[in-house]
Structure 1
Amino acid sequence: MGGQTQRASQNGPCPVSATEQIPLTNLGTPVNTGGLPAARIKVPVVIAEPTLQIVVESTIPLATPATEIKRVKKHVFLSQVKLVPVQFARIAGTDFFTATRAKVFVAGHIRKNIEYATGACAGPLMDQIADVPFSGFTDISTGATPGGILTPPIIGISETAEANFLNEKTQLGARLDKVFFENLVKYNEQPYGELIAANMFELDFSPTTANPEGTFTTLTEKIVLDLTFKVLQVQQIQITGVAQIVPILTAITPPPSP
């Protein structure tokens, strides 16, 4: 009997100690809102946020004959988002320009994970991965056009100048061994892309109609991809009406004299 009582106590729940927490008072932290009347920050700025419709048709050979398509999972990977300006407007009072029209080149692939059943009575579910490439370009410009330029990118164009001299002895020809050069190189922030969303509509079918118990080895896919992405450029922005926030904490450092 004693042994049975000991086993019963071992099978029960283990005792756990607990401590009730005491509520604490939140006193808040005073802050000093003094500082600069304006601040300059350097942050990514959205140049454009287009949604492109990309239509792709592909034919994928299957490694194993299939009888039925079960599921197709898809993801989009971008390998290129490049902005090429084609029209410019000078920024008043500077030798920099904004791009008022540009071409955006896009390239990438759709990664497809295809699951399908084989013709065996109790065969395994097969899995195959395929990358479907796509590429193209679109035109963006300033104005009210959808997907157009929201904030123009800033472009600095490099310049090269050359000065030649007269032959000081004859005053009748050029001094070919003496030239003055001036090179101004402006290094620009490179616009770049950021993937936002991909909405895919897809029709998958065998190019040759198969019987219910028959098999097929090729899959044809017609895909309509609505691709949403951002084009950004790091720019310097001035924010007005802001101040530096500094907490006021009691410490051993003596306060400043009035």
Structure 2
Amino acid sequence: MHKSIATMAAVASILFLSPAVSAQEKLDVGSECTYFPFNYRDSDGVLKGYDVDVANEIGKRLKAKIEYTCMKFDGLIPALLAGKFDLIAASLSITEERATKIDFSVPYRLSIGQFVAAKAKKLVLFNADGSINKAAFKGIKVGIQRATTYDSWFQAIVPDATVVRYEGTDAVYLDLKAGRVDAIMSNPMKIYLDFLSKPDGAGFEVIGPQIAEEKYFGTGAGIGLRKGNDALRKRIDVALTEMKKDGTLDKFSKFYFPFAIH
């Protein structure tokens, strides 16, 4: 009896003196989950893509468990601010406007835009010096994804243009092919993989130069966080910087693209 009591006391003292074993850190990540090849579900429902690979690798380096919440792109920032998840990994461009609401990690990929239209239309959307030809937008419809940097660019640069806004890019391509819009604007990397490199893209072409005005397209795409979460942001920045130096970002980008995207 006395021996049992002594043993129990010894065990209790060890537990009391030993540091508590903390549970694994968990980071909830918000993403669109329909934006191939950056964040999408494959035929088995598995979430994949460049953004997902980057977020999962951040989790490994931070020794944190990553879980995902999928929703429409324009709902991601409001949901982050409402505390529904901790991070956004959804090719979210780092812009001045967004930075007034949330914080960002260092960029992990480029953020640019480009136009595509049917060759037969022979659209001239740019002047010889590369500036936008605003007059060329009169009488045509341009398809873009709602609440993106492309949307912001149009509102500021060509506010009188007839813009058709979509919830996702699949419908943008369908309407371009069907002639319901005359041109589209999106990420050239995505346009190439989704459309131009496929049979449906035959007869269509890139129009003009890539647009990368920092005021609208930002310095690249980064991980979004709520303001004030500086400790986590710095840890993510370290992980992303290491991933760039050790070739991990190169490996991820070359899996999806025939070129580097960061």
Q: Which has the higher contact order (CA 8 A, sep 6+)?
A: 1
Say which one has the larger Rg. 1
Give TM-score, length-normalised by structure 2.
Answer: 0.18
The structure richer in strand per residue is: 1
The structure richer in helix per residue is: 2
